[in-house]
């Protein structure tokens, strides 16, 4: 299955490495460091951030009426998101061991670190962490679903896919019946590329 799609995905991985290098440079630029999943700002950065913090009453006054009116709707979404988080966690805990699929590390996707930003007030921190949790759960669920699809139906689509997931490059071409029947057992267990342990907060050193 070494086709042009594999080449493009390899380029995407290289771009991801470059992005991680750029994030590492941002640590120096904005006076913070990430060590053992904790963010530490310098005292200079803390002082600067506190000066830029917006008081809660000003934050509310600057918000439009319709934004405030729809806020409960946004927060209502927390219920199905939290339920999805619970269901996905239980599902992979019970099934992935049976299928022989490596479990997805939840902590690699749900990152709650924006509350450490002193230039955000309490409401802003709460909103930011909610966004991080919601998007993290969806990304976490997408990865669990991707590994599940690789096991049960690793076949690419004939129709154009808007966004491909992390396991798509291992799938059989649409209509390739011979390889599907010959190699399905091999492909549904091809997870050797997934590291056993990872730390999403560890960035590579600067070159």
Q: What is the chain's mean pLDDT, rounded? A: 85
* Choice between 21 and 140, residue whose per-residue pLDDT is larger: 140
Cα(207)–Cα(202) distance, integer angstroms = 15
- The secondary element (H helix, E strand) that includes residue 38 is strand 38-41
Cα(183)–Cα(97) distance, integer angstroms = 21
25 domain-assigned:
no
130 domain-assigned:
yes
**Backbone phi, psi, residue 26, to 5°:** -65, -30
The pTM score is: 0.78
65 domain-assigned:
yes
197 domain-assigned:
no
Q: Name, in order, each residue with C-beta under 8 angstroms of 106's C-beta and a sequence gap of 6 or more.
A: 89, 140
14 domain-assigned:
no
Q: What is the predicted pLDDT for the residue at 29?
A: 64
How many domains does the chain divide into? 1
State the residue range of the domain holding 120. Answer: 31-187
* Choice between 33 and 201, residue whose per-residue pLDDT is larger: 33
Asked if residue 204 has pLDDT above 90, the reply is no
Cα(39)–Cα(29) distance, integer angstroms = 14
> Considering only 46-55, 111-120, 163-172, 180-189, which range has the smallest mean pLDDT?
46-55
Cα(106)–Cα(136) distance, integer angstroms = 9
SS3 7: helix
97 domain-assigned:
yes
Q: Half-sphere exposure of 112 toward its Cβ, with a 13 Å CA cutoff?
A: 11
Q: Using the structure block, give the residue that is written with the tokens 């390889």.
A: 179
**pLDDT tens digits, one per residue of 62-116:** 888 998 999 999 999 999 999 999 999 999 999 999 999 999 999 999 999 888 8
- Other C-beta atoms closer than 10 Å to the C-beta of 7 total 11
The token pair at 136 is 């993290």
| Torsional class of 105: left (φ above 0), alpha (ψ -120 to 50), beta (otherwise) | beta
205 domain-assigned:
no
Cα(123)–Cα(15) distance, integer angstroms = 35
Q: Half-sphere exposure of 11 toward its Cβ, with a 13 Å CA cutoff?
A: 6
* b/e code 31-63 from CB counts within 10 Å (16+ = b): ebebeeeeeebeeebbeebeeebeeeeebeeee
Asked if residue 206 has pLDDT above 50, the reply is no
> Considering only 27-41, 99-113, 134-148, which range has the smallest mean pLDDT?
27-41
22 domain-assigned:
no
């Amino acid at each position: 299955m070494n086709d042009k799609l594999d080449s493009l995905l390899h380029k995407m991985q290289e771009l991801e490495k470059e992005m991680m290098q750029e994030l590492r440079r941002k640590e120096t630029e904005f006076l913070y460091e990430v060590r053992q999943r904790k963010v530490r700002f310098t005292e200079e950065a803390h002082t600067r951030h506190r000066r830029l913090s917006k008081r809660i009453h000003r934050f509310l006054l600057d918000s439009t009426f319709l934004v405030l009116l729809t806020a409960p709707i946004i927060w209502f979404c927390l219920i199905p998101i939290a339920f999805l988080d619970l269901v996905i966690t239980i599902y992979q805990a019970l099934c992935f061991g049976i299928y022989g699929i490596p479990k997805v590390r939840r902590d690699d996707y749900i990152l709650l670190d924006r509350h450490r930003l002193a230039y955000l007030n309490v409401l802003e921190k709460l909103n930011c962490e909610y966004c991080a949790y919601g998007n993290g759960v969806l990304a976490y669920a997408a990865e669990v679903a991707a590994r599940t699809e690789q096991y049960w139906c690793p076949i690419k689509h004939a129709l154009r896919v808007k966004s491909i997931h992390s396991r798509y490059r291992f799938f059989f071409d649409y209509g390739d019946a011979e390889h599907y029947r010959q190699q399905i057992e091999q492909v549904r267990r091809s997870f050797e590329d997934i590291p056993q342990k990872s730390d999403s907060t560890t960035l590579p050193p600067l070159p």
